[in-house]
Amino acid sequence: MTTIPLLLGEKNLEQWKFILRRTLKDYQLCQYIDAVIPEPQGEDQKRQWEDARAIVNLIITASLIHDATYETLVNNGWDTEGEDPKVTYETVLRAFPKVPDVGILITSKWCGKCQKKASVKTMHCKECDKCHGGRACWENNPELAPKNRRQNQRNTQKDSEETARPTTAAAGILDLDMVIFMARNTG
């Protein structure tokens, strides 16, 4: 069984691209993300072209269902109804640019409670349920402040990991053989 991981943004983009490209090559479908394949003239060829594009689009979009990934792609102009897998693939690459491994200044983190990026200097406020410096809310209600910053950051990271954890039912694992079989044997 071939599996494509859920795309979780920059942190697994390279792995996602590698597995996606390798899988599409195995099924001889990689050309649909590498180039614009014009619509053929013959009826049989046109049906094969439409089927192949639909399969590639399904393979890609099934791995883009993580809430943050989906939202980022839509905010970067992704047409969720689009039928061209090359456009979808290019939107992913544009929305999640490759980040170099060395010399990165981390300026934001993912807050699992807010479901968005927040400055590393902020914490999730228990009173207003938002990420911010916290002083205003915590000065009024000190019992709501986290015991210490490190504990709050661990909680935020744990929440983020729990939010991003895929399940098989949520298409974290995609049986591509079944997808291709179903696409070719329906309609």
Q: What is the pLDDT of residues 86-140, one digit of tens each?
A: 999 999 999 987 655 544 444 555 555 666 666 555 565 665 666 655 455 555 6
Query: What number is the average pLDDT over the span 28-55?
Result: 94
Please tell me the predicted confidence (pLDDT) of residue 145: 53
Predicted confidence (pLDDT) at residue 174 exceeds the cutoff of 90: no
Least confident of 2-6, 67-71, 80-84, 152-156: 152-156
Please tell me the predicted confidence (pLDDT) of residue 144: 53
Count the alpha carbons within 13 Å of 16 in the hemisphere toward its beta carbon.
Answer: 24
Among the listed residues 119, 146, 148, 144, the one whose alpha carbon sits nearest the alpha carbon of residue 131: 119
Question: What would the pLDDT profile of 56-81 be if each residue is shown by its tens digit?
Answer: 999 999 999 999 999 999 888 889 99
Among the listed residues 64, 84, 50, the one whose alpha carbon sits nearest the alpha carbon of residue 184: 50
Backbone phi and psi for residue 146, each to the nearest 5 degrees, phi listed first:
-65, 155
CA distances from 181 to 44, 50, 60, 176 (A): 18, 15, 16, 8
Predicted confidence (pLDDT) at residue 40 exceeds the cutoff of 90: yes
Report, in angstroms and rounded to the nearest whole number, the Rg of the chain calculated over CA atoms.
21
Question: What would the pLDDT profile of 97-111 be if each residue is shown by its tens digit?
Answer: 765 554 444 455 555
Domain ranges of the chain: 10-100+170-184, 108-164
